[in-house]
Structure 1
């Protein structure tokens, strides 16, 4: 193997993801959340009315895993289900008031972990990294991002990682 082949961008991105996800998973335990539950809550807060299957696709997990996460959140009173307005087979998910509050606390944890992970980078490098990752995800899985926001529309403070994860 040569340095030009290994480590690849995918490997480096995977390592970064594993590091941040591991830390996030450990710290979310204080809020009684798993990563899948945090993703379900995050997507439901940002895009009310999604189905569990929609959230699974956006999060890159199986429908079964997301179903378990959603059921846990419903049992805790953080999400509620409502019938879909046009499909009898689908249910829409909405965050409750408490779900919004827990989501805000979880976002703060995620933001702190992201800031810590990139703290050794100059602010300009951190902003560049975030912008480039955003553009890649925007092309590969645009549904996983906030609806209707394109990378060129992202506010500069959001690119630094200081606002939201």
Structure 2
């Protein structure tokens, strides 16, 4: 029998916690939280995404995403726009400053990821990534919507 701390889900949770902490440290100089970074990236890669969709994709509550979006709007990094015929649904669009910050923060996060994964060979990294995406697709299909974004 496996020790309970070695169950796949628990190990994945531990890795997620460690990576979240590392990425939070990486984002601090950019004055971004994990949720804000997610909102900014989603608006940059999928202009017009709704806050609700962004929250589902990131596996966070709509309230947390709303707080993140409010902070980005206040900083002039995101804009909320209404869609024609639907004045209640706000669509998120990154501003020029938001796009620049998303690119800068993204490069820093990429470096953090590369550093964390350097213990694995490139083939192992691809295998781990593929298996994790398969689990994510099963557990949170909405997170996979980003693959279908324009």
Q: TM-score, normalised by structure 2?
A: 0.91
> Which SS does the other structure have where 1:61 is aligned?
coil
Write out aligned runs for 1:10-159 (5 A): 10-145=9-144, 146-148=146-148
**2: CA distance between counterparts of 1:109 and 1:49?**
25
Deviations 1:15-64 (A, max 9, x none): 11101100111110100100010011111111111121221111111111
Q: Which segments of 5 or more consecutive residues in structure 2 lack a partner in the other structure?
A: none
Matched residue count: 148
User: In the TM superposition, what whole-angstrom CA distance separates every residue of 1:60-84 from its partner, at most 9, and x where no partner exists?
Assistant: 1111111111011011111111112
Conserved in 2, the CA contact under 8 Å of 1:47 and 1:147?
A: no
Find the aligned partners of 2:81 and 2:69 in 1 and give their Cα distance: 13
Structure 1 moving runs of 4+ over 3 Å: none
Residue aligned with 1:90, SS: strand
Say which structure is richer in helix: 2
Instruction: Structure 1 unaligned segments of length 5 or more: list them.
Output: 150-165
Higher relative contact order (CA 8 A, sep 6+): 2
Mapped to 2, the partners of 1:114 and 1:16 lie a distance apart of 12
TM-score normalised over the length of structure 1: 0.83
Distance in 2 of aligned mates of 1:91 and 1:122: 43
- Mapped to 2, the partners of 1:139 and 1:48 lie a distance apart of 26
